[in-house]
Amino acid sequence: MANVNLLLQPLEHPRLSTETEWCCLGDVALLEAQRFEPVILSRSLAPDQIAVAYQKIEAAVKAGAVVVGGFISSPEKNVARRLASLPELKLIRVLPFSLQHYPLTPGAKRRILEGKTLILSGFSAGDTALTRTNCIKMNRWILQLCAAGIADEAPVISSLRPSSPSVCQMPPERDPAAIFL
């Protein structure tokens, strides 16, 4: 049995940013992975760029890397759908809103109990808005966490512009990656 927790718990870990108070749900042992692979894909990427990024991410998963992402943009969600078929998939999902507002789906619960998922949030309980500012902060945390592991190449990322606090698109179910979580 993995070191899992289905209750929200505060978390401090050397690989996590100290600029915030973290809360988690799932297997904290995933933070001890030797390699992390970030999934930060912009909607503005061309289909061939997304295909190249997917091949790199899939190869990393097959080599034992833990995938780290928010799975918010449509390319990220599409990658998540494709990765879901890989039995070796382990992931850390970083949320751009409070974990207290995360709907624990049956798939997420199963993956957590199997020791294959950790869900993290650095946002306070009252922070429910999915804003561009929160998405940018989340992406920076993802990159910091992945830099703490062993990385082969720079991730494919969108331009991070912290200016506009416009709201990101999010489907009504409030869980963009419910397809595999």
Domain 18-147, architecture per CATH:
3-Layer(aba) Sandwich (3.40)
pTM: 0.79
> What would you measure as the largest C-alpha separation in the chain, in angstroms?
44
Quote the pLDDT of residue 14.
85
Question: Residue 108: what pLDDT?
Answer: 82
Running along the chain, 181 residues long, what does each successive block of 10 average in pLDDT? 57 84 89 93 91 94 95 91 90 90 82 90 79 91 81 40 33 40 44
Query: Cα 72 to chain center, whole Å?
Result: 9
CA distance 47 to 63: 24
Tens digits of residue pLDDT in 14-34: 888 888 888 888 888 999 999
Domain boundary assignment for the chain: 18-147
